[in-house]
Structure formats: structure tokens, C-alpha cells
Amino acid sequence: MIEKSRIRELKGVGEKTEKLFEKLGVYTVGDLLRYYPKGYDVYEEAVPISELEEGRIMTVTGAVFGRVQVSGTKRMQITTLHVKDITGTVRAVWFNMPFLRNTLAKGGLITLRGRVVSRRGGLIMEHPEIFYPSEKYEGKLHTLQPVYGLTAGLSNNIVSKTVKQVLDGLDLSKETLPDKLRLKYGLAEYNYAVRGIHFPEDKEVFFHARDRLVFEEFLEFILSLRKLKDKNDRQENEYVIPKSEEVEAFIKKLPYMLTSAQRKVWDEIAENMAGKTVMSRLVQGDVGSGKTIVAVLALMNAAFNGYQGAIMAPTEVLARQHYESITGLFSEYGISIKVVLLTGSMTAKEKRRVYDRIECGLAKIIVGTHALIQNQVFYDNLALVVTDEQHRFGVKQREIFAGKGTAPHVLVMSATPIPRTLAIILYGDLDISVIDELPSNRLPIKNCVVDTGYRKTAYHFMKQQIAEGRQCYIICPMVEESEHLEAENVVDYASALKEELGGSIAVSCLHGKMRQTEKDMVMEQFGNNEIQILVSTTVIEVGIDVPNATVMMIENAERFGLAQLHQLRGRVGRGKHQSYCIFMSSSKSKETKERLEILNKTNDGFKIASEDLRLRGPGDLFGIRQSGILNFRLGDIFQDAKLLQMADEAADWYLDHENVSLHKIPDFERTSSVII
């Protein structure tokens, strides 16, 4: 089967199914092979009923106890069964499956596997799989069943069957890594790896397969960066921009002094802009360290020297926030630089007006989203491009942005703390500056790590904060078993919270499935304190700056990596009031408590990132959300730090032993999503 073939050529894939796959970004056979499972259903050993834990999928074996009951209405019939072992009894329920009564009524030993939830103070199993007789479960024990990201109308079974069909017709000669390199690092052969990632026989096969594919993904990424750095190092500075006197005068007028770290980084940027070669610099700084003002100084410096500068943000909300912040600052200090905003949601008429101002050179600072790199945008003399929250953009996007000018200076900002050893690899084409101190007027966030029994107390504390005029965030993780239900998950939580708190407190929700206009409206209302509690998914990790918000509560904190939890925590502590972060965990494991205690003890993002790196292990793959930094298809820079370092070393070996010069590096067919 040729990887470039359209999936329509596969047996059983008609026009309707093809369109559903396209919604997932799967157009070709190669895309399908790289559409890796988002998780696995692992069939574990049965546990005693007394050891069941809320929020987990678990298995029990016991005797049917008492009568099987069917209750409810015609629209919603509930089948209830009790199963008992020597340690206790558990209730299992099924919805609209009354026919199960005949099977379950036979009695004897039965094995149930399903999600354990808490209802009215007790634990129950909802919609568990039934293995009757219980010996049938042994055939599935320790197997890993792939779970794919889906869209409405496309089942896991259809995706699974279609992938199997492709694997059966795989070209067995396909291998991109040189044999010497593969053997040097003990990596699996490609065909073994791609089968093992989709349908692993056991965890050992899965990890071996994943290591190979993650290594290849990292290697491709690093080679692309080396190619980019080689090109940058040879680029002469077309825009020699000296440090402007107006910028220095502006710095002196500010109501606060720049920290010594901010001053040092600004001097490095100014020196680059006036140097012999084009600037390619990363500014890495913790949440709230003041990176934005440094970027604004660089943009002003370009504008005062007669050039254009542009800043690209990952979301419309963040772009608008930057625009309002810059225009407000310029208005306050009487700076007459023309600033424009360009986003995808603007009307065609609004966009045309902005395009004209950019092309004729009237607009000196352009703020926007991906709209800045569209074909319709032509710049007059673009000398500086800034990308904010770099980990949200791919290398290619950064290249396209820089390509809008004639070799402009590139400034990249990231609030995601990454240990320096990894940052040097991940941002291999950039010089690195670090803002490693916070402004002196920032109050440290007070943290606490608690179990779910603290929830009522947390709600009471939020009520007190709201009575004082403050606002709160509550973060829920995505629904594990089917991400397209994420919206209902957050909506249900918000609905239950409204009942809990009463009508005097405005509660609303935010999630990734909402339209951009809806998101913007909710964020605006929250910014204006029309909403007091915002229940959200991690969509707020980047893009909301509400100084009045003082409480962040993160449900199921154990499901996130430490670096992401720190990013979320950074949404509070932005104003003059004392802020608090409550990490709520339903896990009883000692390791989870140890991880979360790190956040309890420090607000230093770089220290947290280093600890995250130390504590992550391959076993964490089942249960902890990946960091999402740079959005690799499979790789996670914390979890796979050793593979990333191996790939960096392998890039040197590849260039030395394969006699390939950087500009002749081939474009790999199985390209990582970061490079696309």
C-alpha cells in the first residue's frame, strides 16, 4: 500500500467515511498510519471490591448478589446489579439495556470492567463490560486496545479496522533510518514500530515501538533546526537598527524599573538588531516575568527607525490583549506609532482596510494571529517578527512569518519553562535569553494540595473571595474516554456548581469546542467581572489576563504534567491582591502526592520543569497528560528527554557518517507535525 494513496482507495471507505476521516486531518494512507492512538484500554488484573478507586476504569470478580432490577421510564431504563466478594459489595448500572436482566439473572461468578464513579456517597460502576462466565476475561488480560481520537459518526471500531487493513498491505522494505544508526541506539525496525504503536501485544512491545517513532520524530525536527540555523548564521543583517533614543526615554518614563534580567535581555536584543547578522533569539521567561514589555521595546525600536515590526499570538484573545495593551501604553505616554490588529474573525472589509495600512507602510506595529502570515498580507518593510508563546507554533510557521520580509530579525517568546539542556536542543536555531526574576511588586501565589474531600471547603473559600470582589477559575481535564465529550464535561460541572453556590454568583464555562465568538464573549464577560467563576478546560492556559482573578482550583491535578499545572497557575497572581492555587487530586498514590508537593513548595517554573523532568518515567504514559510543548505527534519533551538528547547526538552522527551536508538534508516522508 503506497503511503500517498488516498484513503478512499481502501476497502470499506466510501465518500461519507472519507469526509469523516478528513475532519481528523487524515487524507492519505500515510496520514492514517501516523494517526496514532491517543491512549490504550489496558485490561488489568481484577482487584478486590474494597480497593476500587473513584475515576478509574477497574475490574472486579464476584458473585451476583440479590435480584437484578430494571427501573426508570421508557426513555431511560436503568438496570442495576450488585456484585459481592469477600471484601465488599459494589453496585453496577447500565442505561437502556433492560435485556441484560436475562443474562445477569443466571447468578454465579461474574467479571465486570468499567469506570468507577461516586454517586450519593458510594462507589458504583457505570456501564461496565460483562464477562460471563468470568474465565472469558483471561483472554483479554494484559492486552492493550487502541483508543483513537474520534469525530461524530466515526467509531473507534471503524478507525481500528481501517488501520489494520493498511498494516496488512504495508511495504515491508520501508525504512528511513540507516541500519547503523538504528543498531547504534537499539531502535526497532519501522514496520515493527508502526504495528506496535497501533496494536501492541503488550506494554513492552508498545514502549519499544514508541521509542523508535519518537526518536525518528525528534531526529527529523533537530535536522530541520540545524538546516535553519545554518541558513540564519549565513544571513547578513539587511536591517541594521541602532538603539533608539526614544525607546530609552520611554523606559525612563515607565512607573516601574525594569528588572536587571529584563534590562540584560533588552540590551542583548538591541545589540543583535544593530549587529552584522540577522537576530534569531528566544526570550524564555516564567509566567509574569515581564517578557511582553521587552518585546514591545524591540517593536518600538524598529518603528522609531522607520521599519515595521509584527507580533503573532496563538489566539485571538491574546492578540487583542497585546493590541489593547500596546495602544493603551502608547496613548498614555504620547507615542505616535500607528498600531493595527489583524485576526481571522474580522470581516472582509475590516481586513482589507488593515491590509492597505500594512502594505503602504502606515502601520508600523502589526499585532495578530496566524492571519499575519496569510497570502493576502504584504508588508512594506518588515524588519522584526515576534512570535509569542512559541511552543504553540511550528518551525514552518515561524519560517513563513520571517519570509514575509527580506530576512527580518526574529524574536521568539515562551513562558513555558524548559530546562536549559533541553531548550538548547529544542530551540537549536536560536540564541537563548532568560528572564529569571519576577518584578518586585508581585505577591507569591499561595498553594495547597488537597483531596476531593476538600471540595466543599474550597467552594466556601471561593465564596469569601467573591464577596471581597475577586474572581475564580476552576479547571477540569478533558474527558478521558472520549475527548469529543469535553464540552458536556465542563458544562455539567458548571451546572452542578450553580446549584451548589446559588443564583447570586455568576458561573460560566469555556471549552475548546465553542465557537471563537462564544469564547471571546465569555472571556470578555469574565474580564469585566460579569462572571465570577469560570469553569474551563486548559483552553485558558494561554490567553487570559484578568488581574482580579485570585483563585485557581485544578480538578484531577494528577492528570497533568507539572509544567502544565504551573502554566495554569500563572493565570492568577497577576494583580495587586493575594492569589491562591488549589491542586485537587483524587489519587491516593504516594508518587502523585510527591509530584504535586513540588508545586506546593515552589513557584519557580524552571525548578518545577527540572523536577518534572526528573520524575517523569515511561510508566507515566498511562494517566498523565503530556506537556503539549511543540505539539509533537508522539513525543513529549519531559517524558522523552533521554530520546531527545539521543536524537540530538544522532543528528551529529547522521551528518558525519552519511556524508550529507545540511542544505542537502532530505525531506522525510513521515514528517513530524512540528515541521509541517
Q: Which of 554, 557, 552, 556 is nearest to 572 (CA)?
A: 552
Mean pLDDT for the stretch of residues 410-429 = 82
For 446-602, CATH gives: 3.40.50.300
Which pLDDT tens digit goes with each residue over 487-531? 447 888 888 899 888 888 999 998 877 887 788 788 889 989 999
**642 has pLDDT over 60:** yes
Q: Is 643's pLDDT higher than 60? A: yes
pLDDT 10s digits, 73-85: 878 889 999 999 9
The CATH 3.40.50.300 portion of the chain extends over 238-435, 446-602
| Residue 673, pLDDT above cutoff 60 | no
The reported pLDDT for the residue numbered 620 is 44
Confidence of residue 248 (pLDDT cuts 50, 70, 90): very high
One-letter amino acid at 110 equals I
In this prediction, residue 1 carries a pLDDT of 54
Provide CB contacts within 8 A for 324, sequence distance 6+.
Answer: none
Q: CA–CA distance from 337 to each of 305, 326, 362 (Å)?
A: 11, 10, 9
| Lowest-confidence region among 204-218, 252-266, 485-499, 655-669 | 655-669
Lowest-confidence segment of 234-248, 290-304, 423-437, 639-653 by average pLDDT:
423-437
pTM value > 0.85: no
* Per-residue pLDDT, 505: 94
Scanning the structure block, which residue is given the C-alpha cell 536555531?
A: 429
Averaged pLDDT, 265-286: 92
Amino acid letter, 136:
K
Q: Is 656 helix (H, G, I), strand (E, B) or coil?
A: helix
Q: Is CATH 1.10.10 what the domain over 1-43+142-171 is classified as, yes or no? A: no
Name every residue whose Cβ is closer than 8 Å to that of residue 634 and which is 6 or more positions away in sequence: 36, 197, 210, 213, 214, 217
Q: Grid coordinates in use for 259?
A: 528588572
Strands 580-585 and 446-451: parallel
Q: How many CA atoms lie within 13 A of 235 on its CB side?
A: 23
Residue ranges, CATH 2.40.50.140, the chain: 46-136
CA distance 298 to 380: 18
Contact 475, 433 (CB under 8 A): no
**Alpha-helical regions (H) of 516-577:** 516-527, 562-569
Q: 621 with 643: CB under 8 angstroms?
A: no
Mean pLDDT of the chain, nearest integer: 85
Whether the pLDDT of residue 127 is over 80: the answer is yes
CATH 2.40.50.140 for domain 46-136, yes or no, is: yes
Please spell the DSSP secondary structure of 176-230, one letter per residue: -S-HHHHHHTTPPPHHHHHHHHHS-SSHHHHHHHHHHHHHHHHHHHHHHHHHHHH
Selected residue with higher pLDDT from 634 and 174: 634
Q: Which of 318, 370, 373 is nearest to 344 (CA)?
A: 370
Instruction: Give the pLDDT confidence score for residue 33 in this predicted structure.
Output: 92
- Residue 669's pLDDT band, with cuts at 50, 70 and 90, is very low
Among 342, 402, 344, 314, smallest CA distance to 630 is for 314
- What's the pLDDT at 542? 57
Q: What CATH code would you report for 238-435?
A: 3.40.50.300
The boundaries of every CATH 1.10.150 domain in the chain are 1-43+142-171
3 state SS of 634: coil
Which residues in 225-236 are b (16+ Cβ under 10 Å) and which e? bbbbbebbeeee
Going 619 to 622 to 624 to 627, the CA torsion angle's sign is: positive
User: How does pLDDT run across 198-217, given as a tens digit for each residue?
Assistant: 999 888 999 999 999 999 99
Cα separation of 464 and 52, whole Å? Answer: 35
Under the banding of pLDDT at 50, 70 and 90, the label for residue 541 is low
C-alpha cell belonging to residue 9: 482507495
Residue 15 is placed in which grid cell? 465518500
39 three-state secondary structure:
strand
Judge whether residue 318 has pLDDT over 60. yes
Q: What is the C-alpha to C-alpha distance for residues 407 and 277, in angstroms, rounded to an integer?
A: 10
Instruction: Report in angstroms the alpha-carbon separations of 418 from 287, 583, 592, 594, 609.
Output: 12, 22, 21, 20, 6
On the CB side of 498, CA atoms within 13 Å amount to: 14
pLDDT at residue 621 tops 50: no
Q: How far is CA 668 from CA 185, 418, 665, in A?
A: 19, 27, 9
Task: Give the HSE-up count for residue 560: Cα atoms under 13 Å, Cβ half-sphere.
Answer: 26
